[in-house]
């Protein structure tokens, strides 16, 4: 019996530890029954979880519940998210092996075997109380793990229903329902911390407080960073195409995504034409007075106002007191000159507000992009609309981010797209720049351990001259 299990079984254990210990014990029992599943059976389980939310009536039910419970986003886009992200993730997962031998490198004498990581604690945000839990559950089950979801308090009813649907689908195909569980209400900090300590892996999506708690739990953890995406509109950009993509991306689910554009950095020689294209796509450019009114309404005592976060454009404009013309808009634009604490519009806004920066040329755009990310969002991602791939490559070579998207609607491409090669996910790693342990999209590889079978091969030992020769000739021995 482990030290934690012994502690949990004692009479002095806290109520939270006792609750979590029971959940973990059930999860381990379910894992034992799943341990000998072959790849086909595992993939049936993954498909069952996908169908539990992809099924049209379930996608709609969970979308409606999410908006009702959290007040964030809108139903139609959450339906799309529930289905699109799930479909894309299922595509990715069904194409890979996670059972038995997954790689045989005969030249190096290495054979790789996939093994489960164990019971996964999944911390999920209020912005996606259905899609994120299912997304993580699919990846966990792909590795023959069990998963216990720790939802946000506001999102608990939706998450609990999503878990119920997943469990029903698992039982329908003869798998243990306890492969997927959820913390009971009321979810609180103590209960979530107890879960993180008791499990084998923590995967945290949401606030940076949750991510830091995961990393300090003593359990191996994967966290994600803060989004605050800046996107460059370059001199050679197709302005109408860029504006349409930016609009579609910005307004999706009322900008709840961490991948939603927060700032546009526009090169001077196309600035006016870009603004005209953005207006034609549905943007409203605020005057200086209106910008101040948005600032006063959007931040209250230094915090984002929940009455405006992820709200429809009509609600936003009425709450701020914008004129009638603004109430017909799809998103709102404010011009800004600086970055940092004294310029709150350079921060992540989680609303239909897009900050505009005018810069002299591409070099200035790249510098401003890094400045924005250095303030908030370091490591996450940025984008560029351009026909000059040298500019895109320079951006990728210079900016400290995990993802640089070229000529794409950021929200639809950053977490995986059908027209790019990124893995579908709802959790974006930001590398050490963003305080994370991974610098890629969360995917199935993070839910498996790998055993390396190593056999003898022909000796691969170069001569000293091969390795040191160039150094010796230049610097001496």
Q: What is the pLDDT of residue 10?
A: 53
User: How far is C-alpha 391 from the chain's CA centre?
Assistant: 26
The residue annotated as part of the active site, out of 199, 247, 258, 382, is: 258
User: CB–CB of 134/50 below 8 Å?
Assistant: yes
Dig out the tokens for 139 from the structure.
Answer: 């990846």
User: CB–CB of 20/12 below 8 Å?
Assistant: no
The CATH number fitting domain 3-223+443-452, selected from 3.40.605.10, 3.30.360.10, 3.40.50.300, 3.20.20.70: 3.40.605.10
Is the pLDDT at 11 greater than 90? The verdict is no
Mean pLDDT (whole number) for 378-402:
98
Residue-wise pLDDT for 269-285, tens only, equals: 999 999 999 999 999 99
311-331 burial, b at 16+ Cβ within 10 Å, e below that, comes to bebeebbeebebeeebeebeb
Look up 199 and say whether it is catalytic: no
Banded model confidence at residue 7, pLDDT cuts 50, 70, 90: very low
Dig out the tokens for 269 from the structure.
Answer: 């020689």
Dig out the tokens for 20 from the structure.
Answer: 């979590």
Dig out the tokens for 448 from the structure.
Answer: 């498996």
The mean predicted confidence, pLDDT, of the chain is: 96
* Beta strands 448-454 and 110-116, pairing class: antiparallel
Q: What is the pLDDT of residue 209?
A: 86
Q: What is the pLDDT of residue 299?
A: 97
Share of the chain above pLDDT 70, in %: 98
Mean pLDDT (whole number) for 386-405:
98
Residue-wise pLDDT for 90-99, tens only, equals: 999 999 999 9
Place of tokens 């526009």: 266
Q: Measured between alpha carbons, how far is 37 from 409 in angstroms, rounded to an integer?
A: 39
Is the pLDDT at 5 greater than 70? The verdict is no
Query: What are φ and ψ of residue 199, in 5° steps?
Result: -90, 180
Q: What is the pLDDT of residue 454?
A: 98
Q: How far apart are the first and last CA of the chain?
A: 57
Dig out the tokens for 7 from the structure.
Answer: 């502690």
Residue-wise pLDDT for 204-219, tens only, equals: 998 888 899 999 999 9
Topology at the third CATH level for domain 229-424: Aldehyde Dehydrogenase; Chain A, domain 2 (3.40.309)
User: CB–CB of 219/199 below 8 Å?
Assistant: yes
Of 69, 92, 76, give the one whose Cα is nearest residue 446: 92
Domain range annotation of the chain: 3-223+443-452, 229-424
Q: What is the pLDDT of residue 9?
A: 54
User: CB–CB of 260/410 below 8 Å?
Assistant: yes
């Amino acid at each position: 019996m482990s030290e934690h299990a012994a502690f949990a079984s004692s009479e002095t254990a806290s109520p939270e530890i006792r609750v979590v210990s029971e959940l973990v014990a059930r999860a381990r029992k379910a894992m034992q029954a799943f341990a000998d599943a072959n790849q086909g059976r595992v993939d049936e389980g993954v498909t069952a979880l996908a169908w539990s939310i992809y099924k049209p009536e379930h996608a709609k039910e969970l979308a409606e519940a999410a908006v009702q419970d959290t007040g964030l986003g809108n139903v139609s886009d959450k339906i799309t998210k529930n289905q699109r992200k799930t479909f894309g993730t299922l595509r990715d997962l069904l194409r890979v092996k996670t059972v038995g031998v997954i790689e045989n490198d005969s030249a190096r004498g290495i054979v790789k075997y996939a093994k489960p990581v164990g019971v996964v604690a999944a911390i999920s945000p209020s912005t996606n109380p259905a899609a994120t839990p299912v997304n993580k559950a699919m990846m966990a089950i792909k590795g023959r793990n069990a998963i216990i979801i720790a939802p946000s308090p506001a999102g608990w009813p939706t998450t609990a229903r999503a878990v119920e649907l997943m469990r029903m689908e698992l039982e329908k195909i003869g798998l243990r329902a306890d492969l997927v569980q959820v913390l009971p209400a009321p979810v609180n900090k103590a209960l979530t911390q107890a879960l993180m300590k008791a499990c084998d892996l923590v995967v945290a999506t949401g606030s940076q407080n949750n991510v830091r708690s995961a990393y300090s739990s003593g359990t191996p953890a994967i966290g994600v960073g803060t989004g605050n995406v800046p996107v460059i509109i370059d001199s050679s950009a197709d302005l109408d195409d860029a504006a349409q993509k930016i609009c579609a991306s910005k307004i999706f689910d009322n900008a709840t995504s961490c991948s939603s554009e927060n700032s546009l950095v526009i090169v001077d020689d196309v600035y006016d034409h870009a603004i005209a294209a953005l207006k034609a796509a549905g943007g409203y450019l605020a005057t200086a007075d209106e910008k101040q009114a948005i600032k006063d309404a959007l931040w209250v005592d230094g915090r984002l106002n929940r009455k405006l976060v992820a709200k429809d454009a009509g609600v936003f404009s009425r709450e701020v007191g914008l004129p009638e013309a603004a109430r017909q808009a799809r998103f709102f634009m404010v011009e800004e000159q600086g970055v940092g604490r004294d310029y709150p519009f350079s921060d992540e806004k989680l609303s239909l507000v897009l900050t505009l920066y005018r810069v002299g040329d591409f070099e200035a755009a790249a510098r401003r992009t890094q400045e924005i990310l250095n303030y908030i969002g370091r490591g996450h991602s940025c984008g560029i609309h351009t026909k000059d791939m040298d500019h895109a490559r320079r951006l990728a070579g210079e900016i400290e981010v995990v993802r640089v998207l070229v000529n794409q609607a950021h929200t639809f491409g950053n977490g995986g797209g059908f027209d790019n090669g990124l893995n579908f996910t709802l959790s974006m790693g930001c590398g050490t720049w963003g305080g994370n342990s991974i610098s890629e999209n969360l995917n199935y590889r993070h839910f498996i351990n790998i055993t390396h079978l190593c056999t003898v091969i022909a000796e691969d030992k170069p001569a000293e001259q091969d390795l040191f020769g160039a150094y010796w000739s230049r610097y001496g021995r």
